[in-house]
């Protein structure tokens, strides 16, 4: 088991390293000069060169890559004999760092990963991302909760009424839900329930979890969560419904279910206690993967509904060429995705020894 867990950790680290490398090379190769964008097109060339040197943009690509890895790594190096050196991170930018080893000119420190600063606001990317992450997390968790509850319920109904009109109607909904892109579903749901029926539902076209009121200040507006959560949950709902239906049909045909029925147990007891518990295994597997996917896939839904989460921040950062913010958001989502999948794989190995053996 220890070997299995170690292998999964190394695999996850390799995946993250590959993601960081691709993200760095992709955004480094983009046209445009971040230093000139920060200062404006009429800036003096000497000022532009000063900013480029401060950001380390005057270094070779490979050196920039090493410096970026040094910033992201919790174990980093800095040259305390020359704090202006771009080859090592600057301790002034990491006030909470702890020195683990000190050499003649280089220290090894333990620190929080440094995602650098925004080109536009000069605020740390970590602060920007952490401010938006709770809104995206609430949206993703709400969507997966709606999808799980309704998906399991509709899947049970489809299995119990196989071939009848409820099953056929749910199958049409499932196919429609899986084939409809998120941004299209967002536009349709917003147009129907917020624009056409807004006077009945009381829902707004756009809105966020927290809004600033002129008199009350920052306040929680839960009604703004309804439409984005439903929109984001449509596709996983369709998947969970299909999985539950197919798994229930398979379990209901097994001998132990027929035996339980023959013993005189009520239909409800047979379905809920014996069949459903064994039919939920593939659904639980899918839930873990979809939760990570929704964190990344919430981008389009946030843009359509004006939800102030990671997606909206990434769009605004792309429009202003604020590359550190975009890179920070992508890397954070990748870390969450890889961590959840790694955790699920490890739990599989713990609860089912056959997985770790294989």
Residue spans per domain, the chain:
2-110, 125-357
Gap between the Cα atoms of 353 and 358, Å rounded: 9
Mean pLDDT, to the nearest integer, of 223-236? 90
Name residue 75's beta-bridge partners.
110
CB 151 within 8 A of CB 236: yes
* Phi, psi angle pair for 269, to nearest 5°: -65, -40
Report which secondary-structure segment, H or E, holds 106. Answer: strand 106-110
Gap between the Cα atoms of 184 and 193, Å rounded: 14
pLDDT tens readout for residues 3-32: 777 888 888 889 989 999 988 888 776 666
The hierarchical CATH code for the domain 125-357 is 1.10.3720.10
* Phi, psi angle pair for 193, to nearest 5°: -90, -20
Does this model's pTM top 0.85?
A: no
pLDDT tens readout for residues 187-203: 888 888 988 888 888 88
Other beta carbons less than 10 A from residue 223's beta carbon? 11
**Is the model's pLDDT at 295 over the cut of 80?**
no
pLDDT tens readout for residues 240-278: 999 989 888 888 787 777 777 777 777 777 777 777 777
């Amino acid at each position: 088991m220890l070997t299995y867990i170690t292998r999964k950790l190394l695999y996850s680290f390799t995946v993250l390293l590959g993601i960081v490398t691709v993200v760095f090379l992709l955004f480094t190769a983009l046209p445009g000069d971040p230093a000139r964008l920060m200062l404006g097109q009429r800036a003096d060339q000497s000022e532009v060169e000063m900013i480029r040197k401060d950001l380390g943009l005057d270094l070779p690509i490979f050196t920039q890559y090493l410096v970026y890895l040094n910033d992201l790594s919790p174990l980093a190096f800095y040259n305390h004999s020359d704090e202006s050196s771009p080859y090592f991170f600057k301790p002034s930018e990491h006030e909470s760092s702890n020195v683990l080893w000190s050499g003649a000119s280089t220290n090894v420190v333990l620190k929080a990963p440094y995602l650098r600063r925004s080109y536009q606001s000069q605020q740390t990317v970590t602060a920007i991302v952490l401010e938006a992450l709770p809104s995206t997390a609430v949206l993703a968790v709400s969507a997966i909760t709606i999808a799980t509850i309704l998906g399991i319920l509709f899947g049970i109904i489809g299995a119990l009424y196989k071939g009848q009109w409820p099953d056929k109607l749910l199958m049409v909904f499932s196919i429609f839900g899986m084939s409809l892109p998120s941004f299209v579903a967002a536009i349709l749901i917003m147009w129907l329930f917020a624009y056409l029926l807004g006077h009945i539902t009381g829902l707004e076209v756009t809105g966020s979890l927290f809004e600033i009121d002129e008199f009350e200040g920052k306040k929680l507006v839960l009604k703004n969560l309804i439409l984005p959560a439903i929109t984001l949950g449509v596709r996983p709902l369709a998947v969970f419904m299909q999985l539950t239906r197919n798994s229930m049909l398979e379990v209901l045909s097994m001998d132990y279910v027929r035996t339980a029925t023959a013993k005189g147990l009520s239909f409800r007891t047979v379905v809920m206690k014996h069949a459903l518990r064994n039919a939920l295994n593939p659904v639980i597997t899918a839930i873990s993967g979809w939760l990570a996917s929704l964190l990344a896939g919430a981008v389009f839904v946030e843009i359509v509904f004006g939800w102030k989460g990671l997606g909206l921040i990434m769009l605004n950062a792309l429009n202003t060429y604020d590359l550190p913010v975009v890179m920070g958001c992508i890397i954070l989502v990748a870390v969450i995705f890889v961590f959840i999948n790694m955790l699920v794989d490890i739990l599989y190995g713990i609860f089912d020894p056959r997985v770790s053996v294989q």
